[in-house]
Amino acid sequence: MTEGNFVDYVKMYVSSGKGGQGSAHLHREKYIEKGGPDGGDGGRGGHIIVRGNSNLWTLLHLKFKKHIRAGHGEHGSKSRSTGADGEDVYVDVPLGTVIRDTETNTILFEITDEGEERILAEGGKGGLGNWHFKSSTNQTPRYAQPGMPLEEKYVTMELKVLADVGLVGFPNAGKSTLLSVVTSAKPKIADYEFTTLKPNLGIVKYRDFQTFVMADIPGIIEGAAEGKGLGHYFLRHIERNSILLFLIPADANDIKKQYDILLDELRRYNPEMLDKERIIAISKSDMLDNELKAELKTELDNELPIPYIFISSVAQKGITELKDMLWKMLNN
């Protein structure tokens, strides 16, 4: 999937169908001049229904659909004939999509399961025909109910990537390079910050044909929780990852300090993210000789509170061991 095709934020106007009007018809046929009321009910207006689809990874298919309208219910007719219901409209979205009311910014619901269906805009009920109002004191009612009005609203759809492992790190830490090595994804890679502007997903192939999903999230900078840099644009994608893989380059001035800054940004954005399992990968470790590596290892054993591993995506070192660690954590 190319970066331009990854759409994770769309706004649209949705409108359900209005209910059909009930009929006020009076029965008439040959030899029956004054038959009783036989007006049928109006049909229900169509719903706008959001449905989870695990085959979708992005909201690209909705990017240019700014208006979605369901069909109106048809009016009732004679002989107690009920009008046809308006046609429902299904909007398929990838799993992990959050639907908000654009005006109030409140979350209406989230779609997380395959085939899950939620009504976004409910169609108006059809009006009752006049035969419902017949009584001993009012045998020929000449009125019927109108259909209920439609429901319309502006909504915002946000995709929060559902992945087993989320890559967390500062810009240019080597996240895209790692993803390209352990999966068949082809993210944009270059020697400058913010090469990745949108999340990339890849499927990691493990032993015995088993797989798990890894997401490369755009780099964090200090103040991201307040919206600096790409800010909330990418932090929301980390919320749905099972494991957070912190990627810190071996040539960093202070590995522990970088980890603390990254962790603090996550905590300020959403404290619940600290409940996720975490692991640190020291990338670009091919730049270290054995003596430097041993010295750094002694230092990190005393400083880091979570497991860590030395890797090199370019030299393909430590990659298999990293997969083993991630798989074990995922299956615990």
Tell me the average pLDDT across 12-27: 92
C-beta of residue 176 within 8 angstroms of C-beta of residue 226 = no
Shared domain for 25 and 78, answered yes or no, is yes
Distance between CA atoms of 64 and 90, rounded to whole angstroms?
16
Same domain, 148 and 183: no
Q: Which of 142, 159, 176 is the last residue of a domain?
A: 159
End-to-end alpha-carbon separation of the chain, Å? 31
105 and 236 belong to one structural domain? no
In the structure encoding, which two tokens stand for residue 51, read together? 């449905």
Judge if 145 and 189 occupy the same domain: no
Please indicate, yes or no, whether residues 294 and 178 belong to a single structural domain of this protein.
yes
Arithmetic mean of pLDDT over the chain: 82
* Domain of residue 148, CATH code: 2.70.210.12
pLDDT in tens, 124-182: 999 999 888 888 888 888 889 999 999 999 999 988 776 788 888 887 777 778 888 87
Please check whether residues 235 and 326 belong to one and the same domain.
yes
The whole-number pLDDT of residue 33 equals 72
Q: What's the pLDDT at 262?
A: 86
Are the C-beta atoms of residues 206 and 325 closer than 8 Å to each other? Answer: no
Q: What is the pLDDT of residue 14?
A: 96
Residue 256 has pLDDT above 80, yes or no: yes
pLDDT at 15: 96
- 93: tokens are 């979205």
The CATH number that applies at residue 233 is 3.40.50.300
For residues 184 and 140, membership in a common domain is answered with: no
pLDDT value of position 284: 85
Is the pTM above the cut of 0.75? no
Pair (122, 236) in one structural domain: no
Number of H helices, E strands in the chain: 5, 14
Give the domain-ending residue among 130, 159, 188: 159
Is 221 in contact with 231 (CB distance < 8 Å)?
no
* pLDDT per position as a tens digit, 78-102: 888 899 999 999 999 988 899 999 9
How far does CA 76 lie from the centroid of its chain?
40
From residue 72, alpha-carbon distances to 15, 16, 47, 152 in Å are: 10, 8, 9, 13
Residues 139 and 253 in one domain: no
User: Which tens digit of pLDDT belongs to each residue from 174-210?
Assistant: 777 888 887 765 544 444 333 444 566 777 788 777 8
In terms of domains, do 1 and 146 share one?
A: yes
How many domains, in total, are found in the chain? 2
Domain end point (choices 119, 136, 159) = 159
Q: Which domain holds residue 99?
A: 1-159
